[in-house]
Amino acid sequence: MPLLGAPLLDGTCVAAGAHAATITDMAGRTVEIPHDVHRIVLGEGRLIYALAPLEREHLFDRIVGWQGEFRTADTQSYDQYVARFPAAAKVALIGKTTADTISPEKVLDLRPDLAILTISGHGPGASSELVSQLQAAHVPVVFVDFRANPLHDTVPSMRILGTVLNRQAEAQDYITFYQSHLDRVTQAIAKVPMEQRPTVFIEMLAAMRESCCHTAGKGNMGAFIEAAGGRNIAAPLLPGYIGDIALEKVIASDPDIYIADGTKGPRAAGPGLRMGAEVSPDLARSSLRTVEERPGISTLRAVTGGHAHGLWHAFYDSPYNILAVEVMAKWFHPDLFADLDPDRTEKELYGRFLPVRQEGTFWITP
């Protein structure tokens, strides 16, 4: 921990007295953080993705409450974490899968000394009743984000978490890894003329809805497409970073590359891409073929020409998004990135930074 009163590299000032640090969070709020944080509440369960590289073997030592969407949206990863950390199954649920299910009273009953929330996503926002009640109870609330503008917000969010958790060294270690891999892709893509970049469509949670097509615009997975040297056909069609466009628009655009994403496990029921922890390559590939066979999608040039791919949906809200960027770069520009090895990057990330080795399939090509 830096000396009290000393500035951190990101401009954060470590204050003397009862508080260890005064930080500016991703919502632009100034927050005083206590020196010793012992009881943490997570506004979204999937914030565990961000805490894992920082807390590592101590991941569940301080988490006393979280929202329940992690165990339903990424069941296999949740099961793997519970197997490694039995305490995970005992973490109190403060809500189900949406912000309106969260009980401020239940949160306060847990006596947290820190709440970590996200600006965008399934959890409570800055104007929520939960934030008001936590502030009234003098519980610091910190906002981070990995969802709306991930390639811009991942590094500062990890740096903020490193400060509030007193894990600055671990945060900087991850940031250095992350930034070096991102720079490797974006610096090469900067030299590729726009007309040489393929058109791309990503169908998020593919085949899980009655109608096509849920996708990303300017931001979220769309940001990965752009960074990897693709032209996202949905970017000019959506007002926000996530939304729906008509299948007819996709067919009319007839993209060069089609990507389906999903996070269903081998025991899940219903349609959708099988992808993520515990999923074998064969199961992922066969489920991708099923997704491709739907009316309209099956006629796309990308599908008939063998340029359709599958991707883990949870990259859309995780600091592991660098893997999605590398995989897309390899798909979009195989010659330019002949020596890029996303599998090696995945092994380094999971082996070096995470306390649970995520065995499974996180991207696939037919």
For the stretch 126-178, pLDDT in tens is 778 889 999 999 999 999 999 999 999 999 999 999 999 999 999 999 999 99
Q: Where are the beta strands (DSSP E) in the chain?
A: 19-24, 30-34, 40-42, 63-67, 92-95, 114-118, 141-144, 199-203, 214-216, 231-232, 242-244, 257-262, 276-277, 308-312, 360-361, 363-364
181-192: pLDDT as tens digits: 999 999 999 999
State the distance between the two ends of the chain, measured CA to CA, in whole angstroms.
49
Reading the block at residue 216, the tokens are: 């990303």
pTM: 0.93
Asked whether the predicted pLDDT for residue 287 surpasses 90, the reply is yes
Helix (H, G, I), strand (E, B) or coil at 157: helix
Reading the block at residue 155, the tokens are: 């590094």
Helix (H, G, I), strand (E, B) or coil at 355: coil
pLDDT of residue 255: 98
Asked whether the predicted pLDDT for residue 341 surpasses 80, the reply is yes
Distance, in Å, from the CA atom of 347 to the CA atom of 331, rounded to the nearest integer, reads: 19
290-336: pLDDT as tens digits: 999 999 999 999 999 999 999 999 999 999 999 999 999 999 999 99
DSSP 15: P
pLDDT of residue 123: 67
pLDDT of residue 101: 81
User: Residue 261 in contact with residue 314, Cβ under 8 Å?
Assistant: no
Beta bridge mates, 33? 21
User: Residue 154 in contact with residue 146, Cβ under 8 Å?
Assistant: yes
For residue 294, how many C-alpha atoms fall within 13 Å in the half-sphere facing its CB? 20
Number of alpha helices (DSSP H) and beta strands (DSSP E) in the chain: 13, 16
User: Residue 25 in contact with residue 14, Cβ under 8 Å?
Assistant: no
Asked whether the predicted pLDDT for residue 16 surpasses 70, the reply is no
List Cα–Cα distances, 4 to 12, 19, 29, 71, in angstroms. 12, 9, 21, 39
